[in-house]
């Protein structure tokens, strides 16, 4: 497992970066796969920097160029939590280094995840010492929901990021029921979230979800 991450970056369209958007890819993908979201959102977020790190583990040889944040066997009901526990500190350190490189305060952060990347974005974002400006998750699920309330018990009630979760109604990889499971788990930990179910969509991001996510980030990063 790599302990230092890297991946494609996009600098702001104009001026100096005033926020960092970290794009966390899914199982078997890579940073190049998700940096396209940054390309789509640059007009809405002209002063944001984007980075899409490759996950720390390469997949087996049959998936050349693909990475995973942690192995998925589906034999251990606790493996999502254990995997996020292992990979979370690596992503957390990468975020700190990117913020420092850009000269940004730790709060000037948004996390965007897809699938396994959503698990990571929720796990890391909800536990960072400085609360992110936003967490946006596509086609994912929360890992270890039973741990969240305890992990956040020292925080003030209002110390939480805006969270938007978007899921495909016909997702065959992570079924749409994961959306309700995740929003309910967040609510039980005192975290408000909004959500959208995309009709007819499988495991992916459609144009509506892309636009919705971009406008969500623009509102939260610009204080709207």
pLDDT band at residue 62, thresholds of 50, 70 and 90? low
Q: What is the pLDDT of residues 164-197, one digit of tens each?
A: 999 999 999 999 999 999 999 999 999 999 999 9
Task: Classify residue 53: in a domain, yes or no.
Answer: yes
Q: What is the pLDDT of residues 74-131, one digit of tens each?
A: 777 799 999 999 999 999 999 999 999 999 999 999 999 999 999 999 999 999 999 9
Task: Classify residue 46: in a domain, yes or no.
Answer: yes
Task: Classify residue 3: in a domain, yes or no.
Answer: no
Task: Classify residue 2: in a domain, yes or no.
Answer: no
| CATH number, domain with residue 193 | 3.40.50.1820
Q: In b/e form, how buried is each residue of 129-141, taking b as 16+ CB within 10 angstroms? A: eebbbbbbbbbbb
Alpha-carbon gap, residue 186 to 223, rounded angstroms: 23
Q: Average pLDDT of the chain?
A: 93
Task: Classify residue 120: in a domain, yes or no.
Answer: yes
Phi, psi (5° rounding) for residue 38?
-60, -40
The predicted pLDDT at position 148 comes to 94
The predicted pLDDT at position 63 comes to 57
The predicted pLDDT at position 75 comes to 72
Which range marks the domain in which residue 212 is found? 9-221
Domain count, the chain: 1
Phi, psi (5° rounding) for residue 102?
-90, -5
Q: Alpha helix (H) ranges present in 103-200?
A: 116-125, 145-151, 177-188
Task: Classify residue 4: in a domain, yes or no.
Answer: no
Alpha-carbon gap, residue 124 to 114, rounded angstroms: 14
pLDDT band at residue 61, thresholds of 50, 70 and 90? low
Task: Classify residue 192: in a domain, yes or no.
Answer: yes
Q: What is the DSSP string of 40-106?
A: HHTTT-TTEEEE-PPPSEEPPGGGTT-EESS---SS-TTHHHHHHHHHHHHHHHHHHHHHHHHT--T
**Torsion sign over Cα 25, 28, 30, 34:** negative
Q: Look-up: residue for tokens 């709207």?
A: 224
Task: Classify residue 132: in a domain, yes or no.
Answer: yes
Hey, what are 213's tokens?
A: 């996510």
């Amino acid at each position: 497992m790599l302990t230092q991450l890297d991946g494609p970056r996009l600098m702001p369209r104009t001026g100096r970066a005033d926020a960092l958007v970290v794009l966390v890819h899914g199982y078997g993908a890579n940073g190049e796969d998700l940096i396209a979201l940054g390309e789509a959102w640059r007009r809405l977020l002209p002063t944001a920097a984007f980075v899409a790190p490759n996950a720390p583990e390469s997949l087996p040889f049959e998936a050349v160029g693909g990475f995973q944040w942690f192995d998925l066997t589906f034999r251990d009901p606790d493996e999502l939590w254990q995997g996020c526990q292992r990979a979370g500190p690596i992503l957390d350190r990468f975020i700190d280094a990117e913020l420092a490189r850009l000269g940004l305060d730790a709060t000037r952060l948004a996390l965007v995840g897809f699938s396994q990347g959503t698990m990571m974005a929720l796990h890391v974002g909800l536990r960072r010492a400085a609360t992110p400006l936003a967490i946006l998750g596509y086609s994912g699920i929360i890992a270890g929901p039973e741990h969240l309330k305890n992990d956040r018990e020292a925080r003030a009630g209002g110390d939480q990021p805006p969270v938007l979760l978007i899921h495909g109604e016909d997702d065959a990889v992570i079924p749409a029921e994961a959306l309700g499971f995740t929003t309910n788990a967040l609510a039980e930990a005192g975290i408000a979230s909004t959500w959208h179910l995309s009709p007819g969509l499988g495991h992916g991001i459609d144009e509506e979800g892309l636009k919705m996510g971009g406008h969500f980030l623009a509102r939260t990063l610009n204080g709207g």
